[in-house]
Amino acid sequence: MPHIRIEQAVEKDIPLILEFIRALGDYERLAHEVVATEELLRASLFGPRPAAETLIAYLNGEPMGFALFFPNYSTFLGRAGIHLEDLYVHPHGRGRGVGKALLLHLARLAHQRGRGRLEWSVLDWNEPSIGFYKSLGAVPMDEWTTFRVEGKALERLAQQAEQSRK
């Protein structure tokens, strides 16, 4: 029977976290968008104001997956929640309970911390993950569309904000 252990990542895990991020980028066909470096992760995850937390899953002592998450807030609930940004399990660890163990750990953390919900996004084409999430009782929020502003568009908006202050 496989032994799964979940640990909070520490600074020495940065190379492993970056490896998982790159593997996730490959899996999601978005490797060209991965610009994270060890230095960026060190500053954003383990600097004076950590932006997120990371869990590492070990299967029989071998690093097999990770989950990166951060707090969000629901005005309707009047409570903080947890947003799961990334969940990844190496292919040879899938179907062995690693992903479920990570989600169960996150659910326990959310409950212990008094969070109102745990939520995440999944790519529309990722049927294996969608089926897995539904099997755990997760419900797709089909009536919501995610918007994003990044890169040059974010810079333009920031410049407009600066100009409007003058």
Q: Looking at the annotation, which residues are catalytic? A: 133
Identify the CA nearest to 41 among candidates 71, 8, 11. Answer: 11
How many degrees, rounded to 5, is the angle at CA 120 between CA 87 and CA 108? 75
Report d(CA 111, CA 51) in Å as an integer. 20
The answer to whether 72 and 119 have CB atoms below 8 angstroms apart is yes
